[in-house]
Chain A
Amino acid sequence: MTLDISKIRADFPVLDQQVNGSPLVYFDNAATTQKPKSVIDALSHYYASDNANIHRGIHALAERATTAFELTRTKIKEFINAPSSDQIILTAGTTGSINLVAQTFGRANFSKGDKILISNLEHHSNIVPWQMIAEEKGAIIEVIPVDERGVLDLNAYRNLLDASVKLVAVNHVSNAIGTINPIAEMIQLAHAHGAKVMIDGAQSIAHLDIDVQALDIDFFAFSAHKLFGPTGVGVLYGKRELLESMPPYQGGGEMIKEVSFEGTTYNELPYKFEAGTPNIADVIALSAAIDYVNALSKEALFTQELALLAYATEQLSTIPGLRIIGTAPDKIAVISFVIEGIHPQDLGVLLDKFGIAIRTGHHCVQPLMKRFGLPGTCRASFAFYNTFEEIDLFVKALRRSINMLQ
């Protein structure tokens, strides 16, 4: 299936604008993706026609809102091939999902001396929640190292695995340098040692096919806003027996079965973990994002992105002094780079003046930056709606910026 990129671009209103007098080139898709019009319309349609609180009301609006909300849950279930919708917990984002697992699974299962394995590629949000619960429980965090290319050292991983490891928490794809981790193999190895695995799918959900059953994932987390959906919605998938055995997270409405002053019984999955009125509008609009991706096919989108990655890598390699950080053989369309003698922030400021949006800094992965001995990098991250012409504009602006700075 060949994609009609100009037709696709017309679906994303934000792309059609000038920034500082130049056409916007949006290469910050790993931070957040843009939204198709169908998602924006779903949001405004909900507020204009269906707004009601869900699950409790018996009036028409409450019923429409509840149906649409639960339909999203079903679509998510299909999107990641979960066995059942009630294993799809709706949260505020990947960070919210990871904290939920840390504070419930972690609280119930970690004890003194237990190990939690994370990797050197992790985003701060897949480090700090584990540090918090580890400190509380006396558990120990150990780190799977990465090599010069930004590839996880699987031998070191094998050596770190033993019976004291209760959980392995790794990202599917590195946000800073794009490495795709061999999670199928990593999960198998962890399970062989009796450890559970949490996959941070924030950076893979929009690009790679996810089948939580085929991969035998215990917990999988992602954010809607990195899947062309709204901000403020996240997903946590978990295996049924794990979710059922975990204590509730936050207390409040919706998560209860019966409340008395003597005690409270908790609701069933998934509501046990969904206290309070959820982010109804944004959840409903996520449905439109999933439909959008399904209609185009994830595989076709990823093929387009890899072509962009190959072209950008080739073009950037012609710039003197430019070094790409992260050269794993399996990568999504993310390029992190530094330029000899130039601070990333200076490039970010000047590229913005040319209308080009990239990310500069530590990308919330300070331990990884430390590993490479860098204060930060420049990161260009592509989505299927980006074009080869945009890469040309970017490279031209980058050369001009380097000239200004040298």
Chain B
Amino acid sequence: MKEWIEYPDGWIWLGQVLLAIAVVIGVVYVLRLGWRAASAFLATRPALDRPLGLTGGVIAVVGALLPWVTFRLNDGPYPDKATLQFFDAPFALSGFRLHTLVLGVLAIVVLFLPLPRRRVLRALGLGAIGIALVNILFPVIDGGGLGAITSDGENFAFGGIATLVAGLLLLFAAKTGGVLEPVPHWKSAVPRLVAYAVLVISFVVLLLVVAMMLNAGGQGGVGNPYAGPIFLSLLAFLAGVLGALQAIGLTTWISALSDQHKWFSVVVLLLVALGLPFTEAGTDYWMTTAANIGVYAATAIGLNIVVGLAGLLDLGYVAFLGIGAFVAANFSGAAAAAFDIELPFVVAAIIAAVVAGIFGAVVGSPTLRVRGDYLAIVTLAFGEIFKKAAQNNIGDLTGGANAIPNVPPINWFGQSFDKPLTIGSVELPSGVLYYVLIIVLVALVMVVFANLKNSRIGRAWIAIREDEDAARAMGIKTGQAKILAFLIGATLAGLAGAVFAHKTSTVAYDSFQFIESVTLLAAVILGGMGSIPGAVLGAALLLVLPEKLREFSDYRLMLFGLALVLIMRFRPQGLVPDRHRRAELADEGADGVPIEELNVHDTPGDEKAVTR
């Protein structure tokens, strides 16, 4: 990749950065003004929705069929069939151009259906803009110059720009009349079999989408040098489609159904997760990554008890994962272990969980007298104490800088967990058994979380989070409840740590640093505090996104940070918010519109019926 900023020392660089910031602020400001003027204009013209939507849809379709890039980039053709000419092979579209086509066609179709079309158009428009931006910016920056996406004298390529315009038109269409339609409320009382069928189909589709995402553009930059942009562009497409489904009330309906048939959903979800190795994502690489995600997801759900339910900010939580890992490693029979015994994994895992739980309670007790910021500092200090202690090999338990290497893999019934598994004629990749183990672990942790949340204890935690004094006035012994939250959260982390020790085979202090605690916290907040699917999704995003963005090497963390900032700005309640948090933080609509400007429909049980 070409570097668009060379890194000279000092002032030049600083000047460039400041200039770039100034330009971005200026552009955003001008765009904002334009957008406001357009919204005001369109608010009084509700009849423009169809013409604008139709134009936008048609332009998106045309944009999909136009060439997008004028030449081949250095690392190979970008994107797939980038220079495909107008209509010379309309059915050969693939990748993001196919996605653009789909968005365009959907936009046209929805105009003629009895659906809340403005909401749908808004989602589709945002998706199209996302696709266009990713695939415009990448060739411009990587291939050099605007010529790449317009014309270089011989060839022309206006696909990206056409799609961008189409996306804007769709957004404008959504602005006509100034009011979005309410999200329709689907009847959730359906026959059991229908509900089951819907749930199975949704979860299988979910599985396929996940597999598609993991495989977009190859694995970890090996398959395709453009894996990064391809992945981002796919995300934009999926976000657009998901937004449209949400706009017509489908996702709300499905989640209502899955709430109704909780146990069925859990079982199906478990089976579907176990089906992942059989899809195209069933490779060594993704099994390992998915297992890593699983460990973090289980830990994040544990943290969710402390932070999401009880409202206690814990900045040193990864220490409990570390304690679990070191305990398990020491009982694993590894050469460097402090104890010369090899306990069966299950026994070692239970010991690890118990020890971590005890530490959780110990850390929890002095924190009873501190609240808020002070609590965060105390937990931060604990995390650092743990790291330093492990680094200095206190009590010869951690191996210090040498770590504890060569922790043997789990071995059940003669099958080592790090070897491929052959069932009949099907050979599954190595790492698949760890994946299965961790899926089961995550399922277990989910059940623990869900049961606690809907119990006397869980209600006490939420009450403490909401108003500690009122909780005490209700007879809740807040001290005990808080220690219990720390204890259970730490126990779950310890359990995950035991799996982690065997899976990674080396347990070193530097796997448990402050940044890991922050990542876990980010997973919880990003996914939606107090929500289980949220924690899993958050953990998945935080681990998959950096993998997928390897392409952008130097800018990877910057993009990642930017993504977090944007999500928090536009969706503070998290991606899959818990019902409580949604109510609390939905004061600002998805567009950041203050609550006073929103006209909330007064229908009980339908918090989503918000229009502007």
Partners in one complex: no
Interface residues of A (CB under 8 A from B): none
